[in-house]
Amino acid sequence: MRPSESSASVHLVSLDAVDSGPGPFSRLSEIREHSGEVVGLIRTFADPTPRSTVGRIEELEISHPDPDSHWGSGAVLEAEKRFRTMGCKHSQVTLRPDDQLVSLFSGLGYVELSHTMHKPLGSLPGIAPGSSARPMDEDDFLDWSRQFRTDYVRALRQGGMSAGPAETHAELWVDELSSTGISSPRYLFRVLVHDDLTVGYLWGGRDGNHSSQWFVYDIRIHPDHRSSGHGRTLMHVAEVEALASGCSVMALSVFAGNQTACRLYTSLGYTVSNSRMLKDLEA
């Protein structure tokens, strides 16, 4: 249920010049209670274009004691109103697992969508006997991208995103990847082969925000070849590629509902660094 306009315990006062034109913008705002006293800060980000459907709360800090999360909850609800006026269908926040704000957002209807996991890289891992990796060709890329799009939409829907926005997010990725394909200088695409059969695909690359970090965007094993250790082998292939590129850390994102993948990554030494939480603003 949406909060009424009169339910807010605080109001937001922007400290940035408000960009009323097209395009994305980030806005830092003071959180003020009704007497006008500043009790914290909140930063929001939204892209008011037809293809963007998610607003993000990027920072929330309450500077006064707030034992009942009264001001924090009010600030989040006001941010959600801001997102709705810009046409956003969902609100998103990314938090560390031990962040005290996790309970605040959970109480407001946010659910875990995905986890980011990371692992410091050490020695070069071995590749399972009978397995090898080769670059994708165009046919591989088309096969992989079709599977990725279908599974990505399904995972977003299972994580609480409504159908239209889930399709839009998948299309954004597919459009970006299709524009460069396997020749992209940013990404690396590999095929896992075992006993001369194609059993899986890898999409990864150096993380543009962290020069020493390599990111696994997607690994997938063909349904006929799952539960045979190929997922572990493909992660070892990714680590080999990361070390070859000079990176010292591997990171990945896994949907919270994919417990099989979460167990695999944990067994390989990956730990959760943050979780992405999502709320449907139309519910």
pLDDT at residue 280 greater than cutoff 60: yes
Q: Do domains 5-110 and 119-276 have the same CATH topology?
A: yes
The pLDDT, as a whole number, for residue 238 is 97
Q: What is the mean pLDDT of residues 245-259?
A: 95
Query: Are residues 156 and 170 in contact, defined by beta-carbon separation less than 8 angstroms?
Result: yes
- What DSSP state is assigned to residue 86? T
The pLDDT, as a whole number, for residue 87 is 87
pLDDT in tens, 47-87: 866 667 899 999 999 998 888 889 999 999 999 999 998 88
> Residue 212: which region, alpha, beta or left (left: phi > 0; alpha: psi -120 to 50)?
alpha
CB count, 10 Å around CB of 147?
A: 15
Please give the CATH topology (third level) of the domain spanning 119-276: Aminopeptidase (3.40.630)
- Residue labelled with tokens 């998948």: 170
The pLDDT, as a whole number, for residue 6 is 39
Q: Calculate the alpha carbon distances from 241 to 12, 115, 119, 136, 219 in Å.
A: 46, 22, 14, 14, 14
Which class would CATH give 5-110? alpha beta
Where do the structural domains in the chain lie, given as residue ranges?
5-110, 119-276
pLDDT at residue 132 greater than cutoff 60: yes
Q: Using only the alpha carbons of the chain, give its radius of gyration.
A: 21
Nearest to 5 by CA among 82, 117, 103, 64: 82
Report which of residues 118 and 20 the model is more confident about: 118
pLDDT in tens, 177-202: 888 888 888 899 999 999 999 999 99
pTM, full prediction: 0.87
pLDDT in tens, 93-111: 999 999 999 999 999 999 9
